[in-house]
Structure formats: C-alpha cells, structure tokens
C-alpha cells in the first residue's frame, strides 16, 4: 500500500502501467520475423521479411536479449564502428555512476531524509495527497548534523565520477588510435579540402590548384577535384527520382496504368497511358539534366574550393596543418570528410550567405529557447492543482476526482513536454545544416550539442525556475521564510522529474525497441514502393537525438541523487533498458552511414563536468539555507578542483580527437607500403570526390523496361 501510494503521489501510475504493457513486447521480439522492424538484417540478407501470420511470433521469448547481452565490444566495433562503441560506453558509464549514487542515496541518504522532522505537516499515512518532500533533503532539520552525510556524498560522488571520466577518456582516446591503425585505407585520410583559392589571370581554378600543389608539395601531391555549384542539378535529379519511383509504383499496380481523364463533368473522356506519360517526362528531365551538367562542368562555373588528394596520410596532414600562403585568408585547408559524408549543398552558398546563416542560426536558437518557455509554463501550471483551479474554475468539479487530478498533475505535464521536445532535434539539425558544415557527421554533431544544451536549459532550469521562483513571488512579503521555503521547493521538483523519466525515458526506450512508426511506415509503403529487400534503406542511429536524452538523465541523477535519492531507481531502470535495447538495435536495425571516430565523447565529458559543477552550486546553496555554513565553505574548492581536472583532461586527451599524431600517421603509411592493393586504391582516390550531381544519370533504360506488357504469352 505504501509503495502504491508513493507512486500515486508522483502521478505516474498510468505511465508505469503503460510501460509494463509495452514491456511484454520485449519478451516476444523475434528478429527473424516480419513483425519487428529489422531493416539491417533484411538488407544484409540474414533474414527475409514475412507477411504471413505466425502464432509463434506471439509466444514470449528472450532469445534476442541473450544475443544482445552476449555482443562483445569488438563485434560492435567491427559491425557498427567506433561511434557505436562510444555510445554504449556512455550508457555503461551512466549505469556505473547511478549504481554508485544509488547505493549511497538509497541506503544512506534516503533513511536520513525520512527520519527528519522538518516537514511536520506531512501525513505519511495519506502520502498520496502530499508531494515527495518527505523523502528529500528538505525533511532534514535545519542545522542537523545528519546533513554531513549529504556533504560527504557530494565529495564521494565527485571523486568517483572524475576517476571514471579519466579512465573513459583515456580508454576511448586509445581506442580511437587503435581503430585508425587497424582500419583499411579510407579516402578522407589522404584528402584535404582547400577553400578561398585565389583567382589568377588567365587560369581557371583547376589550373591554379594544379600549379600550386605541384610546386609546393611535389613529392606528395596526387590529384584534385574542383567543386561546382550543383544545387539546380540536385533538384533535377530529385525530380527524376520522383518520376522513376512513380513508374515503379505503376508497374506494381496494373489497375492504375490506364487512367480516364476528361472535362466538362466527365462527358468527354480519354484514356491516358500513365506509364508512357511519366516515361516521357522522365526523358525530358534527363535531357535537361545532361544539358545542365555540361554547362556546370564548363570553365567559369567553378567554386573557389577543391578536394586535394595526396599519396600519403602524412603528406595530407602536413598540407592541412601548415599555412599555405603568406595571406592567411587564402588557400585555407581543413580535413575532408568521406565522399559519402560530404554535404554538397554547402558549396552552393557564398561566404556572405554562410556568414549571414550563422548569425541567423544564433538568433533562431535564441528565439526557439524563448518560445519554448510557453509550453514549460503550461506544463508547470498543470503540476500545481491549486493554480490550475484558479486558471480554469469551471474544471474544479472534475479536478476533485482523485484519478483525474493525478493524471493531469502527474503524467500529463511530462507527456506534453515530451511531445514538444520531439520537435527539437529535427529543427536543430535543420539549423546546423545551414550553419556552414561540410559534412553530414559535423551537422549531426553540431545538432547533438544544440539539442543537449537546449534540453538542459528548457527542461531543467526552466522547469525549476518556473516551478519555484515564479510561483513563490509571494515570499517577497515574508522574507524570513525564504530560506526554508526554497530549501523545500528546489528538491520538490523531483516528483516532476521522476514522472518525466518514466514518460520520456522508459517509454522512449521501449518505443525504440518496437520502432512502431518505422514498422508501420515499412508495412504501408513497401507494397507500393516496388523495392526489394536488397534495396531496403537501412537507417542510422540518430545520435543527435539519443545522446542528449541520455546525458540529460545523467545530469538529473547527479544533481538530484543527494537531494531526492528516490529518483535514482527510476533512472537505473531507464539505463538498464537503454543498455539492452540499443545493443539489439545495433545488431538488427541500425547501420552506420558515417563515422566521426568517437568525437561524441568530448561532448559527453563536458556535459558530465557541467553536471558536477551544477551539483556543487546546488549543494552550496542548500547547505547555506539549511543552516550549515561550514559545509558550504568546505564545498567551495570542489567546483574549482573539478574545473581544473577538466582542463587537464582537455589538454591531455582532446588533441587526439582533433588530429592524429605524426607517429601514428607515419607508422600507418609505412605499413601500407607493402600493401599490394594501394595502387588500386590511389587510382580510385583520383575520382573519389567527384560530385554525384555531375555523374552520368540514366533512368531511360529502366523506364523503357516499364513499358513492356505486364503479361505475355509464351510462344510454343
């Protein structure tokens, strides 16, 4: 009864029931059947999609969990890349931190909090009508010596997290170098991007690049590819693909091939062969495309930028890191991404357009943050039943129903906030794409950073401030009660965040496992797409959406474990689900489309450091308000030491994430000297960075095949 009442007080009974209902689907996940969204296995030919009903699919089974649990890090590295390994290391790091925090919080701090008598008006018997303040530090008496347990917990968790951070940074840094040394030759390792190429009289861009690098890098220079503005060509190619897909759908649905068209209320009708119609349009688009390709490829249509390739990795590194001209704004170099990772629309914009775009993105992020305060205020209004009755007096009779009030004040606010947050990652990805990044991976990494800090500010700070400071302005007229009331109000937000962990965390993990929207989309579109299993597009994991969510929950665990330890078990359940679910997803669903070499870890490291400093600031304020100034004074050196530790890690490990050392590059180049396939690789490197929009595109051969009769009679 006590546990049920406790959960009811948080308002998450319905969320937990929903989660456990969905949890049943975990035990019936059968990767070999069509009922689960498994595009990676289908694309790799390891299974076939089945449309027939099979009762065996509904029988609970945990075989997939065993396979996911048994997956080794080396297997994950070989199949999904270093980014997947770093992602799982973030999850395991979070589990280690929360397990340590849970032991301290649940077995030490929680009994201390419950034994306090600061909140004398809390009815333990009827706790469903109260908040969770009785389980927080707010219930410990001001000036009590029991507060030193919380003080010690802050020091212990800080030391433990810093030691884990150092180990993980060291491990991932070494893993990054080992992964590079064991990888096969890749095009981007031998290539740099050169921009701001100065114009020369009587020479085009290609000739200028050729003369410059043959003169100053004669022994290592291999070839170059000049970039063109191809935005119009990409539009034509997209139109051609759209018409081609329409032809494929018509071929798969014979009833739509002939269409009756008419005029004047259908009195005069004529039959139209849609295959012939779309085929002619496709031919016209293809002819126009070839004409535009010839015009764009001609001299004078070039962008002052080029991909320059070298015979060795060390030669490319020398050219990239050295200033190429006496004028530092000319011949600007940077590392080139892999050809499939290049974001070609970047080159269709001018320098002024990119500069304006960066300014516009900053303004857009600020406006988005400001506008997001509206749903946050609405959400916080829903969590306060008294305030809700003032805003909507006609709902007072409905709000007196216990179940309705618990749903509205407990589950609904977190759900609404989560729905609004779903829109943030696509928006941030769109903003990052116009910010001036040359690769898709850089766009994703920038979007990850934006989503992370947007979530921290708008979910954590806005929730706490709107739920305490804005609603406690009446305390201005009672200044003597400010310390006590604030010490109660700040940790009291734990009830909201517990509900948020369930609605956003538990359900997101389980929905990730089922992938319901992707599965439904696959079921609906596959019969009309005409694509075979071999043509199935395999998705990549949205790191910019998943990593910020994980790191935000780590922040909640670190900042709230000593204030309201009851949040830790909910977070442990979440990270336990994340650990097993995402290992399965890397096996069956996702395939890497790009590789950053583990560059998401520095973002995670910075977020953890920020979480520690935030915890220290809250602890100093809490101990001050609780009448323990000595503890506050002794905590002041802790954030300083944490920041010094962060500075040491940045100087010790971060350079390995921005570039590889000469030692590593030369060793790798010497190892490739005995590789008989290097000559063939260098031949492919010469044309590897050709713009796909300038490559020959032909849909007419396929379109002609679509005009053949759907049924033919075999001749005897």
Name the average pLDDT for the chain: 76
**Res 53: pLDDT:** 41
pLDDT band at 554 (very low <50, low <70, confident <90, very high): very high
Instruction: State the Cα–Cα distance between residues 224 and 686, nearest whole angstrom.
Output: 7
Tell me if 668 is assigned to some domain: no
User: What pTM was estimated for this model as a whole?
Assistant: 0.81
My answer on whether 471 and 413 are in the same domain is yes
Q: What are the tokens at 585?
A: 């997803």
At residue 323, φ and ψ (nearest 5 deg) are: -70, 125
Q: What are the tokens at 486?
A: 């604030």
Residue with the bigger pLDDT between 60 and 134: it is 134
My answer on whether 469 and 613 are in the same domain is yes
Instruction: State the Cα–Cα distance between residues 439 and 568, nearest whole angstrom.
Output: 38
Q: Is 177 exposed, middle or buried (0-12, 13-18, 19+ CB in 10 A)?
A: middle
pLDDT, mean of residues 612-621: 89
Place of tokens 């539009």: 235
pLDDT band at 121 (very low <50, low <70, confident <90, very high): low
Tell me which residue of 548, 544, 364 sits closest to 443, measured CA to CA. 544
Whether residue 197 is predicted with pLDDT greater than 90 in this model: the reply is no
Q: Give residue 237's domain range.
A: 187-253+270-348+673-697
My answer on whether 15 and 140 are in the same domain is yes
My answer on whether 569 and 677 are in the same domain is no
List, for residues 456-487, the tens digit of each pLDDT value.
888 887 777 664 444 444 444 455 444 444 44
Tell me if 193 is assigned to some domain: yes
At residue 302, φ and ψ (nearest 5 deg) are: -90, 155
Tell me if 259 is assigned to some domain: no
- The lowest-confidence range among 242-246, 345-349, 412-416 is 412-416
User: Where are the strands (E) in 516-652, listed by range?
Assistant: none
My answer on whether 602 and 628 are in the same domain is yes
Instruction: Report how far Cα 124 is from the mean position of its chain's Cα atoms.
Output: 42
Tell me if 90 is assigned to some domain: yes
Residue with the bigger pLDDT between 398 and 618: it is 618
pLDDT, mean of residues 385-405: 60
My answer on whether 180 and 191 are in the same domain is no
Q: What are the tokens at 507?
A: 């359900």
pLDDT, mean of residues 569-573: 93
**Res 393: pLDDT:** 64
pLDDT band at 329 (very low <50, low <70, confident <90, very high): confident
Question: How many other CB atoms are found less than 10 A from the CB of residue 509?
Answer: 24
Q: What are the tokens at 420?
A: 């609004």
Contacts of 128 (CB under 8 A, 6+ apart): 5, 8, 9, 402, 406
The residue count for the chain: 716
**Res 558: pLDDT:** 94
My answer on whether 71 and 205 are in the same domain is no
3-state secondary structure 246-272: HHHHHHHCHHHCEEEEEECCCCEEEEE
Instruction: State the Cα–Cα distance between residues 604 and 456, nearest whole angstrom.
Output: 13
My answer on whether 238 and 196 are in the same domain is yes
Contact indicator for 381, 355 with CB cutoff of 8 Å = no
DSSP state of 439: B
My answer on whether 423 and 449 are in the same domain is yes
3-state secondary structure 347-380: HHCCHHHHHHHHHHHHHHHHHHHHHCHHHHHHHH
Tell me if 372 is assigned to some domain: yes
Query: In Å, what is the CA distance from 354 to each residue of 304, 361, 608?
Result: 15, 10, 32
Contact indicator for 413, 387 with CB cutoff of 8 Å = no
Tell me if 112 is assigned to some domain: yes
Tell me if 264 is assigned to some domain: no
Tell me if 716 is assigned to some domain: no
**Res 369: pLDDT:** 80
My answer on whether 469 and 616 are in the same domain is yes
**Burial per residue of 273-288, b for 16 or more beta-carbon CB atoms within 10 angstroms, e otherwise:** ebbeebbebbbebbee
Residue with the bigger pLDDT between 229 and 207: it is 207
Type and span of the H or E element at 641? helix 637-653
Residue with the bigger pLDDT between 347 and 610: it is 610
Q: Which of 74-88, 418-432, 467-481, 500-514 has the highest mean pLDDT?
A: 74-88
pLDDT band at 653 (very low <50, low <70, confident <90, very high): very high
Whether residue 594 is predicted with pLDDT greater than 70 in this model: the reply is yes
My answer on whether 502 and 461 are in the same domain is yes
My answer on whether 192 and 233 are in the same domain is yes
Whether residue 552 is predicted with pLDDT greater than 90 in this model: the reply is yes
DSSP state of 339: G
How many domains does the chain contain in total? Answer: 2
**Burial per residue of 549-584, b for 16 or more beta-carbon CB atoms within 10 angstroms, e otherwise:** bbbbbbbbbbbbbbbbbbbbebbbbbbebbbbbbbb
Residues 167, 647, 562, 558: what is their CA dihedral angle, to the nearest 10 degrees?
Answer: -60
Instruction: State the Cα–Cα distance between residues 284 and 583, nearest whole angstrom.
Output: 48
Instruction: State the Cα–Cα distance between residues 521 and 43, nearest whole angstrom.
Output: 17
Contacts 24+ apart (CB under 8 A), 64-69: 64/29, 64/30, 64/31, 64/584, 64/588, 65/26, 65/580, 65/584, 67/31, 67/584, 67/587, 68/580, 68/581, 68/583, 68/584, 68/587, 69/580, 69/583
Q: Which of 430-439, 469-478, 664-673 has the highest mean pLDDT?
A: 664-673
pLDDT band at 709 (very low <50, low <70, confident <90, very high): very low
**Res 42: pLDDT:** 53
Tell me which residue of 174, 251, 190, 53 sits closest to 704, measured CA to CA. 251
């Amino acid at each position: 009864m006590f546990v049920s009442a406790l959960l009811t007080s948080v308002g998450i009974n319905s969320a937990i029931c929903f989660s456990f209902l969905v949890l049943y689907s975990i035990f019936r996940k059968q990767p070999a059947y069509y009922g689960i969204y498994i595009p990676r296995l289908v694309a790799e030919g390891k299974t076939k999609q089945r449309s027939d009903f099979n009762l065996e699919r509904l029988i609970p089974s945990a075989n997939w969990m065993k396979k996911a649990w048994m997956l080794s890090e080396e297997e994950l590295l070989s199949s999904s890349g270093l980014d997947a390994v770093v992602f799982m290391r973030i999850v395991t790091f979070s589990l280690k931190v929360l397990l340590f925090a849970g032991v301290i919080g649940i077995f030490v701090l929680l009994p201390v909090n419950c034994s306090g008598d600061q909140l004398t008006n809390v009815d333990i018997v009827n706790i469903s009508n109260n908040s969770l303040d009785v389980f927080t530090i707010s219930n410990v008496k001001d000036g009590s010596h029991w507060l030193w347990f919380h003080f010690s917990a802050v020091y212990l968790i800080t030391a433990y997290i810093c030691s884990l951070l150092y180990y993980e940074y060291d491990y991932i840094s070494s893993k990054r170098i080992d992964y590079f040394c064991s990888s096969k030759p890749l095009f981007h390792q031998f290539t740099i991007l050169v921009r701001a190429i100065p114009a020369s009289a009587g020479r085009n861009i290609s000739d200028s690049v050729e003369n410059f690098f043959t003169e100053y890098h004669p022994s290592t220079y291999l070839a170059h590819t000049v970039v063109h503005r191809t935005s119009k060509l990409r539009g034509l190619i997209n139109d051609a693909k759209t018409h081609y897909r329409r032809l494929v759908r018509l071929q798969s649905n014979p009833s739509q091939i002939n269409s009756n068209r008419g005029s004047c209320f259908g009195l005069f009708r004529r039959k139209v062969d849609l295959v012939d119609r779309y085929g002619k349009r496709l031919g016209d688009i293809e002819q126009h495309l070839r004409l535009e390709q010839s015009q764009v490829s001609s001299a004078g249509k070039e962008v002052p930028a080029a991909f320059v390739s070298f015979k060795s990795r060390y030669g490319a590194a020398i050219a990239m890191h050295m200033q190429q001209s006496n004028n530092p704004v000319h011949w600007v170099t940077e590392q080139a991404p892999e050809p499939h990772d290049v974001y070609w629309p970047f080159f269709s914009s001018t320098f002024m357009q990119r500069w304006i775009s960066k300014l516009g993105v900053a303004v857009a992020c600020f406006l988005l943050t400001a506008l997001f305060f509206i749903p946050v205020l609405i959400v916080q209004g829903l969590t306060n039943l008294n305030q809700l009755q003032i805003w909507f007096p006609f709902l007072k009779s409905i709000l007196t129903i216990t179940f309705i009030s618990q749903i509205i004040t407990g589950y609904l606010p977190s759900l609404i906030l989560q729905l609004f947050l779903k829109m943030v990652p696509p928006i941030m990805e769109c903003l990052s794409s116009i910010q001036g990044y040359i690769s898709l991976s850089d766009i994703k990494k920038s979007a990850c950073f934006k989503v992370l800090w947007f979530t921290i500010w708008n979910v954590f700070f806005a929730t706490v401030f709107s739920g305490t400071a804005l609603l406690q302005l009446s305390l201005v007229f009672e200044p003597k009660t400010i310390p006590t009331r604030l010490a109660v109000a700040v940790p009291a937000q734990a009830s909201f965040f517990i509900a948020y962990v369930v609605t956003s965390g538990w359900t997101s993990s389980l929905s990730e496992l089922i992938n319901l929207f992707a599965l439904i989309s696959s079921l609906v579109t596959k019969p009309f797409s005409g694509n075979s299993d071999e043509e199935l597009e395999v998705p990549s994991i949205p790191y910019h959406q998943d990593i910020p969510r994980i790191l935000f929950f780590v922040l909640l665990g670190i900042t709230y474990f000593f204030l309201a330890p009851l949040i830790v078990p909910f977070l442990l359940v979440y990270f336990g689900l994340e650990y097993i679910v995402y290992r399965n997803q890397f096996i069956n669903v996702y395939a890497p489309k790009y590789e950053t070499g583990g560059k998401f870890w520095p973002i995670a490291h910075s977020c953890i450091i920020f979480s520690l400093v935030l915890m220290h600031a809250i602890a100093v304020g809490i101990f001050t308000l609780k009448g323990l100034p000595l503890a506050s004074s002794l905590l002041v050196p802790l954030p300083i030491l944490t920041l010094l530790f962060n500075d040491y890690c940045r100087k010790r490990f971060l350079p390995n994430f921005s570039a590889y050392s000469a030692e590593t590059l030369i060793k790798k180049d010497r190892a490739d000297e005995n590789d008989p396939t290097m000559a063939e690789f260098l031949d492919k490197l010469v044309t590897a960075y050709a713009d796909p929009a300038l490559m020959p595109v032909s849909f007419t051969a396929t379109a002609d095949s679509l005009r053949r009769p759907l049924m033919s009679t075999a001749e005897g």
